[in-house]
Amino acid sequence: MEIDCPTRWPSAYNMLDRAIYLQPAINSFIDNHPEHQDLKLTPIEWEQAKFLRDLLHPFKACNDRIEATSRPGIDKVFPTYEVLFNELDRLSEVLEDPTHDDHKWMNAIYPAIIEMKLKLKRYYGKTEHPSVYGNCIILNPKWKLALFRQDSWEEGSVDKYRDQCCRAYMEDYHTYDVQPTRMSFSIGMKRPWESIDEEEDSDIEYENLRKAAPSPEEATFNEYDHYVGLPVLTRKMRTLDYWRAESTSLPKLALMARDYLAVSATGAGVEGHFSRSGQVMRPSRRSLHAHTVSNIMIYTDHCKRLKKEVKRWKGAGMTLGDDVILENTESVTGDQVPQEWRHQWWKERGHKFSSHRGR
């Protein structure tokens, strides 16, 4: 059985889902142990548990989506709020249905739904001023401005968020030289006086300057307006893959997308790393420097992202939890010691335990 934990958002759903899955086993256990008969749930109580599980399921799905750290999540904040508000409205309609008056426990849940909606509105109100949420949904090629055109959004939302994102692009990225043009060495360099022929009518410097200057089309081309004018992406493609492919045609906007989509939607990833740091900084490793702990965590996370196969080797004391070494290092079988650790290797490296320390 799983137990509800106040510091873990989906723990209540996990507890109910696990209990419902084990319902036959739980009933059988209580039937075989008469001393626990007072803990047996009635069919109505099991029905309530199933209703609460179904009620929490959309919140569980949205939580898992936002907490993910393997891909951008900041562009999913507004759609997630939309889903949750729609789900709470649906639940309110169900609980307000007079046909459910016989289910008194459903009427008792209604105030909780109202409180959930008020709390969600308070959190949603905090997304009004930070422009990152609106800009990121526009920089998602599958959404762009489509979300703000839905009936649930206020009139004028399309112009509001489109202009907001355009201002951010124009102020920080439009004039940014992503790939600076390399000008000829002769530009800005005066020729020696004696090398100039009075009869020569050469405009080499002028031609070099003209070629190096951006064309009128390039100077006036607005990548943001061009991108917004394109149809939304309909094929299955990750957002970062899309901007990687468009980095040649829309280099400035791709840079903006990379900066904005790197923002974490929640602190779940940071909290996870904070918890894992305790596995590195165990009582037997209290002398580790902060930089060493950071490097171990970054290196381990990098290996996981690359999906590198690792081999377990007890006693290494280098990584998180069970100590591991990479597959491409020297092979170790059983309790075998690596070659470089044999034959008193510390003497060759001037270790502090060596009788002949290197200077």
Q: Give pLDDT tens digits for 5-44.
A: 766 778 888 899 999 999 999 999 998 988 888 888 988 8
Residue 257: predicted pLDDT: 92
How distant is the alpha carbon of residue 125 from its chain centre?
22
Q: Would you kindly state where each structural domain of the chain is located, as residue ranges? A: 11-130, 312-359
CA distance 44 to 41: 8
H/E stretch holding 323 reads: none
In angstroms, the CA 174 to CA 182 distance is 19
Work out the burial of residue 358: count CB atoms within 10 Å of its CB; fewer than 13 is exposed, 13-18 middle, 19 or more buried: exposed
d(C-alpha 323, C-alpha 316), whole Å: 6
**CB neighbours (10 Å) of residue 320?**
17
User: 197: how many CB neighbours lie within 10 A of its CB?
Assistant: 8
Whole-number Å distance between alpha carbons of 19 and 2? 8
Distance of CA 239 to the CA centre of its chain: 12
Long-range contacts of 211-220 (CB under 8 A, 24+ apart): 212/181, 212/183, 212/184, 212/187, 214/181
| pLDDT tens for each residue of 274-328 | 777 877 888 877 788 888 888 888 887 778 778 776 555 555 554 444 444 444 4
- pLDDT in the model for residue 329: 44
Is 141 a residue whose pLDDT tops 90?
A: yes
As to burial, measured by CB atoms within 10 angstroms (0-12 exposed, 13-18 middle, 19+ buried), residue 148 is: buried
Q: The whole model's pTM is what?
A: 0.64
Rg (CA), the chain: 31
